[in-house]
Homo-oligomer: A and B are copies of this chain.
Amino acid sequence: MTIFLDDIELANLMCSPKNLDCLAVGFLFAEGLIRSKKDIKKVFADEKDGVVWVELKKARKSPENLIARRFITTGCGKGLTFFDAALDGGRLRSKSRFKVRVDSIPLLMKEFLRMSRLYRLTGGVHSAAICSARSILVFNEDIGRHSAIDKVVGECILKGIRTNDRIMVTTGRISSEILVKAARSRTPIIISKSAPTDLAVRLATDFGITVVGFARGSRMNIYSNAWRVVIEREER
């Protein structure tokens, strides 16, 4: 997919050809180029040719900066998002008191995997979701774990669904870049059936975000800010 931002070719992404408008908006959000739906004047997606045009309400002051940026917005292992995050640390720190009951997590994961239809067909894609403590609000699949998350965040932005005090769920590993996507969208809990990286756990600890990894069946590992996962004791 090619994203044009105010007629400037911003980025080319390999992705699954569905919900490209959500992906474009989620990508722009993740890269700090938009902050909310209010920044967007118009989104037009040509899903057949894989092109999305996004127009902003305010013209950007310096299109040159945008051109310089487009080469560094990649999605995998370049580390730039992390450096941004290090600078942004204070702003990304969660002040939310949101918690979830431990027994909701297996239920959410079960529903999440049940919805992963394309994964069951192909074994070759990632899924992502934004959930309340009880149910899945937005769900997407994509060949890339980064794009699957950008799609759910973008869909929330376009549909006006708040992402703060929500749970982000992913099939992919939680790297520092993925953790920063959670932090930027203000979701204080991120859950994966896969592993987190060391760097992601360190960032999550600093940002006040709860990382749950290897959430499989009734098992899970909690890596940071475990206070958000509430284990209710049985009455005696």
Contacts and interface: CB of A to CB of B under 8 A. Distances in A.
A102 interface: no
Given A71-B71, A77-B76, A144-B76, A122 B12 contact: no
Interface stretch (A39-47, A129-137, A191-199): A191-199
A74 B75 CA distance: 9
A72 to B, nearest CB: 7
A11 to B, nearest CB: 9
A72 B71 contact: yes
A143 interface: yes
The size class of the interface chain A forms with chain B is: 20 to 34
Count of chain copies = 2
Interface of A is mostly: loop
A232 to B, nearest CB: 29
Contact of A195 (B122, B194, B196): B122
Given A71-B72, A74-B77, A77-B146, 15 more contacts: A14-B76, A14-B78, A14-B79, A14-B175, A71-B71, A74-B76, A74-B78, A76-B144, A77-B144, A77-B147, A122-B195, A123-B194, A123-B214, A124-B173, A124-B197
Interface of A: 12-15, 71-72, 74-79, 122-124, 143-144, 146-147, 173, 175, 194-197, 214
